[in-house]
Amino acid sequence: MMKKESFRRILIRIFWISLVFTIGFSWVYIRYAVPDRLNLVVNEEEVFHFALPPGVTFESDSEEVVLKNASEIPQGMIRIERPDAVSMYGKNEGSYRVGMKFLGLIRMKDIQVEVVDGSYAIPCGMPVGIYLKSKGVMVIGTGQVTNDTGNVVEPAYGLLKSGDYIQTVDGEDLEDKNDLVDAVSASDGKTLALGIRRDGRRIEVDMTPVLAEDGSYKLGAWVRDDTQGIGTMTYVDMNGNFGALGHGISDSDTGELVDIEGGELYETQILGIEKGQTGKPGVMSGVIYYGKGTKLGEVKENTAEGIYGTVNNHFLDSIKTDAIPVGFRQDTHKGTAYIRSNVSGEVKDYEIEIQKVDYGSIQKNKGLVLRVVDEELLNLTSGIVQGMSGSPIIQDGKLIGAVTHVFINDPTRGYGIFAENMISH
């Protein structure tokens, strides 16, 4: 009897451990397999394909979003028999919530459902020169200074760190790094109160400039106040708002997303293309034409999903293509698609193959895996090169995404972002 009782206890423990493991695994799986946000076109049924475990229940918290089963009967709550296909219908525009439960009991996830009017945008594919002005003077790092007595010191060490933004000196706002240099030079070695923005918090740091051996005063910090480069315009909407790149602009030294107060777009000319090869991404090189007559628009935001702002009439007059519908992630599928690019000197559509669609990717700008198959583009670039980020992806007549990254070990392949992630940033 003792052996049977012991065996029974072991089985019970195994059962509970298995149940906890199953629930935990399902929670993690669902967390990453299903996106936190979905978009529906008002009065149109949308079908989403998710590889979900059995026993998943979807529950709409609002009558405005109707969940449907295979028999097309609207239900407030349904148990999914084939969890790879979930149908939703939005009655009115707005923001609603759909919940997911496991075994009808455990709330696993809330999905924000945005019911919107069908949107249109012009897929561009044109290169633009980008100039960004940081919000304050960005600290790249600290360094050593040889002072007037010949000793090597590092005055900023432990006080400033990479990614800090110096916004004020003794209460005076800084416009650029020249203002910082002037303030340090005029300090005559007196302690300065630096207003710092660090990780979104405002702090104050007291620093005493060091008299260097060349007779100037220094803080021992490397700083930068602007960023510039070449990228690709993804789309312009009907109101002249643009989205570009499909990923944010980060500082080349710190890797941090540049916190900007504004920026501009300018005309650019591509002068050459270095083809990509295994282990070494290719790159487009060119020149940016800065000037009043070559300005194309204003940059207002630098986010993880791209840069955003407005274009001017000069840019709008240069667009030769029409607006097309914006496709949502449920419109995207494996197979043939096209990227629009100006790498040849004129805007063309080049054939690609979408190899993977990750509807629930936690990295918003890596939801698609694509491969270049167009021979003309392969001959020009060997695939995807730096500077092509933002090239719009078109499938079935809809703007469904943009190119964001190239695979280091295979320049013919890369990642893309869903267009809805860019537009709803």
Catalytic status, residue 382: no
DSSP secondary structure of 310-366: EE-HHHHHH--S--EEBP-GGG--SEEEEEEE-TTSS-EEEEEEEEEE-TT-SSGGG
pTM across the whole model: 0.74
List pLDDT tens digits, range 133-165. 888 888 888 888 888 888 888 888 889 988 889
**Residue 416's closest CA among 326, 302, 336, 339?**
339
Higher pLDDT, 56 or 140: 140
pLDDT for res 35 = 72
Percent of the chain at pLDDT > 70 equals 84
pLDDT-based confidence at 336, cuts 50/70/90? very high
Strands 295-303 vs 348-357: parallel, antiparallel or unpaired: unpaired
Catalytic status, residue 253: no
pLDDT for res 32 = 65
Whole-angstrom CA distances from 173 to 179, 206, 286 are 9, 16, 34
List pLDDT tens digits, range 228-283. 889 999 999 878 899 999 998 887 767 778 888 889 999 998 888 888 888 888 88
* Range name among 60-64, 115-119, 308-312 with the lowest pLDDT average: 60-64
Choose the catalytic residue: 60, 341, 361, 389: 389
Query: How many Å apart are CA 412 and CA 379, to the nearest integer?
Result: 11
Choose the catalytic residue: 134, 374, 382, 405: 374
Choose the catalytic residue: 134, 247, 382, 391: 247
Give me the residues paired with residue 337 across strands.
352
**Residue 390's closest CA among 254, 230, 261?**
230
3-state secondary structure 69-119: CCCCCEECEEECCCCCCEEEEECCCEEEEEEEEECCCEEEEEEEEEEECCC
Helices (H), 144-269: 177-185
Query: How many Å apart are CA 391 and CA 339, to the nearest integer?
Result: 6
Token couple for 305: 């999903």
**Residue 315's closest CA among 298, 300, 339, 303?**
298
pLDDT for res 111 = 78
Strands 56-60 vs 94-102: parallel, antiparallel or unpaired: antiparallel
Is pLDDT of 72 > 50? no
Catalytic status, residue 374: yes
